[in-house]
Structure formats: structure tokens, C-alpha cells
A and B are shown apart, each in its own frame.
Chain A
Amino acid sequence: MAFAPMGPEASFFEVLDRHRESLLAALRRGGREPPSGGSRLASSSEVLASIENIIQDIITSLARNEAPAFTIDNRSSWENIKFEDSVGLQMVSHCTTRKIKSDSPKSAQKFALILKILSMIYKLVQSNTYATKRDIYYTDSQLFGNQTVVDNIINDISCMLKVSRRSLHILSTSKGLIAGNLRYIEEDGTKVNCTCGATAVAVPSNIQGIRNLVTDAKFVLIVEKDATFQRLLDDNFCNKLSPCIMITGKGVPDLNTRLLVKKLWDTFHVPVFTLVDADPHGIEIMCIYKYGSMSMSFEAHHLTVPAIRWLGLLPSDLKRLNVPKDSLIPLTKRDQMKLDSILRRPYVTCQPFWRKEMEIMADSKMKAEIQALTFLSSDYLSRVYLPNKLKFGGWI
């Protein structure tokens, strides 16, 4: 495969290559088993049968003059979530549940909405068509009230049926972008080449469907913000440090962006690094990619990449690089609370270097955006910071 040979010399990637080797060795040692719980990719007939079983149960309850109810796992409860270094956050096997009753004034409406969305999923699967969560909301926005209601119910259904959202024929809207040394073929046969140019490629909406992924990338760089991503595009970063892949979720990542990162790791075992702001929000976004989120913990096996490393911007970099204090921002109360919350999470205990960085931030009570590096020079990020970090292993 011929890509434009614009990158640095081979020795530049020595540390990266060694890092990749260690990651592969760890994978071999871990002997990671296929996920036993959580959601899976189910066939259409399986999904239809599951929904019909639910309806049968409801009708049986009604025939017995019992008010039917759904039993839903408490996805967003810490008591139902465990941490495994190899997986990240995932739901425990016997988790607590709650009942959505049809005869309770508080939950009757939710009961009805769950049935409504189940019937819509049934139709989508039967007709082999797809819809996004947004599409579903807009079928009857007055009934649903707001998008969050729809999102939560879809996640509950996915968790209840133990099938992936994709199997429910519900797509999440992709907002992420990808650029660099990667090409693939989408489900419908479209050939996509993400080679760096002036524009990036949108993350496809059907990650499970893409095939024939090809790359020579030495690393994958996850960029928190679109602004930073665009800046790197403008600075021709992908070619300067080719072969590499750059991806952004534009803040909190959508499901498809996370699925793509996971797919790239699973397929190529290329080292994945994050470039986030030196603030609690950036750290949390990084944790989502690496360990997953509480709300999607039931799908952790398909979404998390525990091998992710924190490349920058590290709080310790601010002092090391003498970033001007003018470019630093005091932590708000909300930042403090978020930082405290992250420090209490189970995965931080096995990341002593991350903990140390967060403690530096907490002690200084200051945060900084990646853009703070422009105070050093306008292209400091792409010309100096990132290349040095990657060449000399400046990740944790």
C-alpha cells in the first residue's frame, strides 16, 4: 500500500514500537476471554423473539389480573458496576434492578413508552431498516417529551434484552471525525480513505458493518476537541508524523466514535493516545474512551480500550514547559467536584501516575486548555510538543 512518505524517519518511532510490543505481550499474557455478559450482536430473529417473549409475559400477567411490569437493571448505579483493569467499568453479573410498573402513577407513562419503543424496534428489525435515536424521538416528540427520555429507554431495552443497540436497528448519530493513515469499505460498499487532507472524514454510523480496514499507522491519537483537531489538520500533523491516525469525538464521544477506536485497537493493536485539556472535563473524556461510562457499562466489552495512554496535556507539563500563568484558568467549584469524583473512581487507584497528575491539578487549583501551548509558539503543539512526547515516550 502506498501512502505519501512524508513522516519522520523510522527511528522516531522506536519508543512507540517498543510500547506496542509491550502492549501485545500484555494481551498475550492476559489471555482475554470473550465477554460472557453484556450485550452482543444478535440476529434479527433473536431480537424479534425476545420482544415477543416480553409481550407474552405482559399478556400473561394481565390474564392473571396482575399489573405487568418491566424489570430493568440499574445501569447507572455504582453498586452495580465493577472495575477490571483489562475491561474497564462493567456491570456486575447479579445487579440490582428496579421495576417499571404499569399501575403506578409515577411509572405508568414510562411503562407505556418502553412498549412504544419496543414496538418501533420490532418494526425496524422486521423491515431491516435503521433509525437513529433522534429519528425515534421525532416520531412523536410530544409523547416522549425530550431526547434524554428516548436515549435512556433505548439503553434500558438494550440492557434488558442483552443485545447491542445496533442489533435493535437503532443507530447513534455520529459526530466524530477521523483523519490519517486508514482506509476501509463501508457496509454499502463505499470505499473510504482517511488520508490527511484539508478535511477529515466523518466517523461512519455503521461501525460493525465496515470491513477491509487497512492501515500502517504507528499510533492513534484521540483528540478531545474539534478545535484542536482542526488545528492539527491545518498544521498537516498527519503527514508530518505519518503514518498515524487522528480521531476526535468533539467532546464527549458518541457511541460510534468509541466503537471505531475499539475496532482500530482490536484489529491492529496500534498504541492509542489521548490529547485532552488539562482539566477535569478532559480527564473524564479520556476515562470514557479508556474505561467506559457508567451508563454504557453494560456494553463495556465493545467500547473500552484500557490500553489507552494519556499523552497530554499533563498538568505537570504546565510547570515543566513554563506555560505562562496568564494562560492558566482557576478551577471552578464544579471542576473541583468533578476532580474529586474522578479521584474516587475505582480505576484511578491502578493509575498512580494519573492520580499524581490529578493531585498536581488539585493542589495548584488551576487548569489549562491545549491552546495554552500557543503562548509558547503558535505551532508549538504540532511542531514541538507532540513530536517530542511521541518520540521520547512522554505518555502515562
Chain B
Amino acid sequence: MEGTAVAVFEILRFLIIHWKCDIDVSKGALLEGQLVISIEGLNSKHQANALHCVTTIASAGTLFGGMVLKKFLKEIQSILPGISAKLTWTSEEGSYSQDMTGVTPFQMIFEVDEKPRTLMTDCLVIKHFLRKIIMVHPKVRFHFSVKVNGILSTEIFGVENEPTLNLGNGIALVVDSQHYVRPNFGTIESRCSRIHPVLGHPVMLFIPEDVAGMDLLGELILTPAAALCPSPKVSSNQLNRISSVSIFLYGPLGLPLILSTWEQPMTTFFKDTSSLIDWKKYHLCMIPNLDLSLDRDLVLPDVSYQVESSEGDQSQNMDPQGQTLLLFLFVDFHSAFPVQQMEIWGVYTLLTTHLNAILVESHSVVQGSIQFTLDKVLEQHHQAAKAQQKLQASLSVAVNSIMSILTGSTRSSFRKMCLQTLQAADTQEFGTKLHKVFREITQHQFLHHCSCEVKQQLTLEKKDSTQGTEDAPDNSSLELLADTSGQAENKRLKRGSSRMEEMRALRSARAPSPSEAAPRRPEATAAALTPSGREAREAHGRALAPGRASLGSRLEDVLWLQEVSNLSEWLSPSPGP
């Protein structure tokens, strides 16, 4: 992570802190606004094999009404002494007003020389950072574009209209599960599309005496939140198992904590898996997962563990994908006095450099709070697993009982009638079909038993008597899923498959496709930078077509890598847009 990424992080952090502290945003209100971040890289004239990158951060709309811009520029320059970049500020004439209601769009530009591969990594890191921000600031939208020697790619990061859980203190956690875990399209089962976080008790953190830093006029408070993803509240025919744990770290005001040990995210505290909770209580053996590839369109965890699989996991009925235990650690700063923005900045710096020491010092309270939270979540999982096992057992009992009567009957007309009804040639085939149809019917109903889909469930129960006439294999199952799991699911499943076809066509034809379908293309123009996003190719986290987004971004990354691999073309003597 080098200059461009660091600068973007610092500027965004400062903007958000300033946004919350100096602008009169009430404590509980969510931040709202749009920022445009664009990076343009051209072959550097001063360094060989390097790109001269000009990064522009611009606002759209009434983001910074009332901000004293010159003061802001001065302060931010003091924050970024290490950036060997030119930092300039442009704004509309006469808009230096302190009028709180004034519209003050602004634009900040800085320039850095970087290697292409470094720029690529920086872009991925920035995207990761933006994703993490919007997960807790759902009303903030980022337009991010990168143009390298005329080749443009654009993404919009926004999660408006997605379900959220208000955590108070001006942040709300996005609970659409597709941001955290990629859905397994291979299985026909569907699950609840949301995570159901459990909030833990806030605990005060202790700062070791030997940690140099400011004297805080307040306290650091850690609040954990945990959830299983996908949610275990919906049963399927497969047993749920926890396969991984993802930990997300957030600092004050919901700012993602990018630790100074970024390249080595596994700090001492997290390296010892027993620091968090007693995993053995839930028969889980955790090992650190160091393979945190940036090249994914999900919200990347800061710390990740894998669960070592046991023999029980090999059973036929075990869900191969498993569930991910999500743990969010929010560290906030509470003070009896009005908090100044530089104080927040200082706290943030303290956390990024000394989080490990602070967590170790506060080990017992941290562990207690996290244990309590995870106990609640895992207990739910445990209960769901038990319910699932009970259901499976009931199914087996029912099928075996029917088979017992059928095979024991001496009345040939009865046996014949049973076989004919299920279109089975013999009792063995009958048994297989019986099990299958029972499973489908019970699974079909159980899929809708999710607490966040109560209304749809009530509707479905009323339709029980006519359910048989509505149901048909596959397509209508998808339709019914849509009724109860939200419009998004159905559209995702349907558009996902149609999206695959579009992508194939795109790859083969390399021709413009309908506006919503195509991601970045080589022929795209600078019009893609407009904040309205009409030319935007993807929308991260849009509930209407998350599957489309994931497929699209996968393709985009493939295309990006393809372009980057052809560096020799860009570094040719006659490049240029």
C-alpha cells in the first residue's frame, strides 16, 4: 500500500471526521452524501516504468456546506506530510462561505508517481476501504474510477435501500449477507438474504502505560456485534456448519481500521485464536487464515480464521460451503466533553498503531464481551442445527414407516396403487422417490420460516390449501422464493443466469451490450466519471442484482488483470488516449 492509497485513506478519513464533528450533524444521524474519487495514470515523464497518477477527490451535492475550505486544506496538509504529493484545492468562486446551508462542492487533487503494479494494488486496497465504509455508512456513495493511459474503469459503491441495522452513534450496519459471503449458486436451496447480528455489551478498553500517545479526555469503548452468514434461521436439508470466522475492525465514527501492520494483519492478539473465545465449547478448532486476497468483491475481513473440519463434517448431509461467523468490533471514543476532530484523529492513529497492545491489555473484558456475543449467536446456530437434525430424523421416520407398511402389505392392489402414484417401478425406487418428494415439500415450506419474513410466511400458510396447485418444479419454486425472500432473491437468481449469458456474449463479441449489463470496456469514455453514474457499469451492493454485480465485478477484475498484464503496450513509445 503506497502513496495513492495512503493519501486517499487519510483524506477520506479526515473528510468523514470533519463531516461528523465540524458540520452540525446530530450524533445519531447517518452521514449522507456522495464522493467521487478518480485516478488518472499516464506514463511518467520523470521516472521510468512508472505512472504519473493524478487523484481527484470531489464532492457531489450538499456534502460540505459550511466547511471552511482553506482551514480544511491546511489541516489536511499537516496530516499528510509524508505524501510527496501536490495537494491542491479548487472550489467554486465565492463559495468560501461559512453558511451552513450553502452548497459547496469541492475538489481536491494530488499527484503521485507510482509503478503500475503498485497502482493496481492501491486501487484494490482503496476499493476494499470504500466497501468497508459503506457497510456502516449506508447513505454515503462513492464513485471510483481509474483511467490508465486512456483505459477507464468505473465502479459505484453504494448500498442505498438495503436493509440495515442501526447501531446508534451515527452508523448502521448493512445486513445483506451477499456483501460478506458469496452465495453458492450450485445448490438449489436458498437461505435468508440477511444476517441477523447480535450486539454485545460495550466494554471499556485499557491503554497500556507504555503506549506513547495523547492523554485522552474520554474512553475507548469496544462494542462487538456478531452474526452467522448465511443466516441459520432458515433450515435446509443440509446441516449447517461453521467453516470460517471473519473479523471486521472499525474505529471511531465507523471508520475502518487499517492497521499499520497491514501486510501482516494477524496481530499477536488475533494470532492466538483463543483470545476471542473458548472455541472448544462449540467443538470448533480455529486456525488463522492468512490468505486474504484483495481480489474479491466482497467486504474483506481484517482477520480471518478457518475452521478445521472434523470427521463429522464429511457426512453426506453436511453443507459443503458452511457458514461464516462474522464478528464486527467497533471501537468508539466517548467523552463527557465535546469531542474535537483532532482528538478523533488522534484516537484513530492510536488504534491503528497500538490496537494489538490495547487489546492485549484489555484482554479479559474484550474476551468476556465477545464471548457473550458469540455465545448468543452460536447458541442460535446450535439450536438451528438441532432443529435441522430433528427435522431430518422426522423425515426418515416418516419414510421408513410408510415403507414398512408398503413392503409388509399382502394386498397387491394397495402396493400397486402406491407405486403407480409415485411412478415407481419397484419398492426400492418408490422409497427413493418418497424420500425425495418429502424432502422437497418440507424444505419448500421450511425455507420461509425466517423471522425477517414473517409477513410472507403468514401469507404462505393461508395459501396452504391451494399450495399444490401453485407449485411446479424449479421455475415456480423460484417465483415462490421471490415472494417470501424478497424480490431481490428471485431477480438475483434469474438475472444471475441471464447475466452469465450476457457476460459470455460480451467476452466473445467485445461489443457494447445493453446499458446495465456491461462492465468496464476499453472503448468507454470519460463520461463515466459523472457522479450521476449513468455510465456506471456496476453497483456494488445493489439488492436488485447483487448476483449481477458479483459476476460483473469478477469479469471486471479479469479484464483489469488482462489489461495490466499488457503493460508493454502502455509503456510503448507512442501511448496515449
| Residues in A lying within 8 Å of B, measured CB to CB | 48-49, 51-52, 55-56, 58-67, 101-105, 108-109, 111-113, 115-116, 118-119, 122-123, 126, 143
Contact = CB atoms under 8 A, between A and B. Distances in A.
A254 B347 CA distance: 76
A119 to B, nearest CB: 4
Interface stretch (B134-142, B212-220, B439-447, B528-536): B439-447
A53 to B, nearest CB: 9
Contacts of B472: 65
Contacts of B411: 48-49, 52
Contacts of A116: 397-398, 400-401
Contact of A104 (B404, B418, B445): B445
B442 A108 contact: yes
A62 B438 contact: yes
A119 B397 CA distance: 10
Contact of B394 (A64, A112, A126): A112
Interface residues of B, number: 39
B437 interface: yes
Nearest to B446: A105
B445 A103 contact: yes
A108 B410 CA distance: 29
Contacts of A122: 404-405, 408
Interface string B418-443: 10011000000000001001101110
B414 A56 contact: yes
A61 B393 CA distance: 21
B390 interface: yes
A118 B440 CA distance: 24
Given A59-B418, A115-B402, A123 B468 contact: no
Given A65-B468, A123-B408, A109 B421 contact: no
Interface string B378-410: 000000000100110111011011101110111
Contacts of B527: none
A63 B438 CA distance: 10
24 contacts: A48-B411, A55-B405, A55-B406, A56-B414, A56-B418, A56-B421, A59-B422, A62-B437, A62-B438, A65-B471, A67-B441, A67-B442, A67-B445, A108-B391, A108-B394, A108-B395, A112-B394, A112-B395, A115-B397, A115-B398, A116-B398, A116-B400, A122-B405, A143-B397
Contacts of A61: 468
B417 interface: yes
B449 interface: yes
Contacts of B400: 116, 119
Closest 6 CB pairs of A and B: A66-B468, A115-B401, A103-B445, A112-B394, A112-B397, A119-B401
Given A62-B441, A67-B441, A112-B401, A126 B408 contact: yes
B282 to A, nearest CB: 23
Given A59-B422, A59-B434, 19 more contacts: A52-B405, A55-B414, A59-B402, A62-B422, A62-B434, A63-B422, A64-B468, A67-B442, A101-B464, A102-B441, A103-B442, A105-B387, A108-B394, A112-B394, A112-B398, A115-B397, A119-B401, A119-B404, A122-B408
B421 A103 contact: no
A59 B414 contact: no
Nearest to A126: B408
Contacts of B235: 105
B467 interface: yes
Given A103-B444, A122-B405, A63 B391 contact: no
A102 B397 contact: no
A60 B468 contact: no
Contacts of A55: 402, 405-406, 414, 418
A6 to B, nearest CB: 56
Contacts of A102: 398, 438, 441-442
B401 to A, nearest CB: 4
Contacts of B434: 59, 62
Nearest to B442: A103
Contacts of B395: 108, 112
Nearest to B441: A67
Nearest to B438: A62
Contacts of A104: 445
Q: Is the interface of A mostly helix, strand, loop or mixed?
A: helix
B467 A67 contact: yes
Contacts of A60: 421
Contact of B397 (A48, A51, A101, A113): A113
Contacts of A58: 402
A79 B336 CA distance: 64
Contacts of A105: 235, 387, 391, 446, 449
Contacts of A109: 390-391, 393-394
B421 A59 contact: yes
Contacts of A62: 422, 434, 437-438, 441
B385 to A, nearest CB: 14
B364 to A, nearest CB: 39
A52 B438 contact: no
Contacts of B391: 105, 108-109
B383 to A, nearest CB: 12
A117 to B, nearest CB: 8
A103 to B, nearest CB: 4
A271 to B, nearest CB: 47
A117 B385 CA distance: 26
A389 B420 CA distance: 69
A62 B431 CA distance: 13
Contacts of A51: 405
Interface centre among B401, B402, B446 (most CB of A within 10 A): B401
B58 to A, nearest CB: 53
Contact of B437 (A65, A101, A118): A65
A214 to B, nearest CB: 41
Contacts of B464: 67, 101
A111 B401 CA distance: 11
Interface in B428-481: 434, 437-438, 440-442, 444-446, 449, 464, 467-468, 471-472
B520 to A, nearest CB: 45
A143 B468 CA distance: 30
A63 B411 CA distance: 21
A66 B470 CA distance: 10
Contacts of A64: 468
A122 B403 CA distance: 12
B394 A63 contact: no
A103 B387 contact: no
Contacts of A49: 411
Contacts of A118: 401, 405
Contacts of B401: 112, 115-116, 118-119
Contacts of B394: 108-109, 111-112
Interface centre among A59, A102, A115, A123 (most CB of B within 10 A): A59
B479 to A, nearest CB: 14
A134 B338 CA distance: 73
Nearest to B437: A62
Contact of B446 (A48, A66, A103): A103
A109 B441 CA distance: 15
Contacts of A113: 397
Contacts of B437: 62-63, 65
Nearest to A104: B445
A63 B401 CA distance: 18
A101 B405 CA distance: 20
A56 B394 CA distance: 19
Contacts of A143: 393, 397
Contacts of B438: 62, 102
Nearest to B468: A66
Contacts of A56: 414, 417-418, 421
Nearest to A62: B437
Contacts of B440: 65
Interface string B471-501: 1100000000000000000000000000000
A67 B467 CA distance: 9
A111 B397 CA distance: 9
Contacts of B471: 65
